[in-house]
Amino acid sequence: MTRIANLSLVQLQYLTALDEHRHFIKAAQSCFVTQPTLSMQIKKLEEELEVKLFDRSKQPIIPTDVGILVIEQAKRVLNETKKIENILLEYKGKVAGDLNVGIIPTISPYLMPQLISQISKRYPEVRLNVRELMTEEIISLLHKDHLDVGIVATPLEIDGMVEKPIFYERFCIYLNPSHQAYDMDQLDAKILLEDKLWLLSEGNCFRDQAVNLCALKHTAALKNSFNYESGSIETLIRIVNLEGGATVIPEWASLNLQPEEKKNIRPVKGNTVREVSLIYSRNFAKAKLSEAFYSTLQACVPIQLKKNAGNPVAAVV
């Protein structure tokens, strides 16, 4: 009992950092300490517990069997400790503190400018730390408690995760005026396979949704003279303008186009939308802050998108 009582939160932080990085120097850098300091504290922790927590004979180092159990409990302790600050803030009625946010690239350019402005006006004591990441990365970092919340396309239906829909947006088709379907008022997405179809790169969930929408197999050969996949919707629009063909874009992106470019937008037949949600762990402690953040997100959504409803195309992770 005495040995357990002597454990410090700093030691537990070093322990979880070493588990994440599996490298003493990288773990020390992530904790803003020197490598000898971190190594000494890990060794001291092992001596106090009278067990080896890491197998140093392996490269990279790996936790021992008992180390895995201790590390998991250390994560729980650190997570519970974070709740103390949140309890105090909520008791005082404050909306303050850090919020670590992950957001996917097909939402970020349209939402973030509004969100930054709204948060700074409404909650000046909130500090947003935002990272633009793929859905898979956001989920991984949420599980590791390196992110507090994520803004992603849903439904994902992941155990232990809460999904709170923020808005729904329709899929739009952006066409070059030379496209054979240009004179149609609305399009069946499958018609895009009859000409050049430009897509986002692998890993973007919006690409996967567009593939599903068009009933396009990943192995299908498109009629492009070369294969180009972009991480940017704006880049795809420029390519369509110059090279012809079409691309699929989210509705919010279409609202930001120039008047001449808006003429090239066509709705997709049916009532198919993508659902965009705030996701976080069921054990997330910052209740008041997350509620304030969620209401601010909703306030940033254009009126047109607030009117949408339909059948979301499933997100693919």
Question: What does residue 114 show for φ and ψ, rounded to 5 degrees?
Answer: -65, -45
What is the rounded distance in angstroms from the CA atom of residue 30 to the CA atom of residue 315? 32
Residue boundaries of the structural domains of the chain = 2-88, 96-317
pLDDT at 1: 46
Q: What is the pLDDT of residues 210-259, one digit of tens each?
A: 777 666 554 444 444 445 566 788 888 998 999 888 888 899 999 989 99
Q: In this structure, are strands 62-63 and 161-175 parallel, antiparallel, or unpaired?
A: unpaired
CA distance 54 to 56: 6
User: How far apart are alpha carbons 35 and 25 in whole angstroms?
Assistant: 5
Q: What's the CATH architecture for 2-88?
A: Orthogonal Bundle (1.10)
What pTM value is reported for the model? 0.71
Q: What is the pLDDT of residues 179-207, one digit of tens each?
A: 888 888 887 777 776 677 887 876 677 77
pLDDT of residue 245: 87
Check whether 279 has a pLDDT greater than 70: yes
Cβ proximity of 111 and 129 under 8 Å: no
The mean per-residue pLDDT over the stretch 21-40 comes to 93
pLDDT digits (tens, 9 = 90+) for 165-183: 999 998 888 999 998 888 8
Q: How far apart are CA 231 and CA 235, in angstroms?
A: 8
Burial of 97 (0-12, 13-18, 19+ CB in 10 A): middle
Tell me how many degrees the CA angle 247-248-249 measures, rounded to the nearest 5: 115
Task: Give me 183's structure tokens.
Answer: 């004179």
Helices 287-300 & 65-91 angle (0-180, nearest 10): 70
- Residue 65 to residue 71: CA distance in whole angstroms: 10
Which residues have a Cβ under 8 Å from the Cβ of 257 and sit 6 or more positions away?
Answer: 237, 265
Fold of 96-317: D-Maltodextrin-Binding Protein; domain 2 (3.40.190)
Side-chain half-sphere exposure of 202, counting CA atoms within 13 A: 3
- Reply yes or no on whether the pLDDT at 129 is more than 50: yes
Mean of all residue pLDDT scores within the chain:
84
CB atoms within 10 A of CB 272: 17
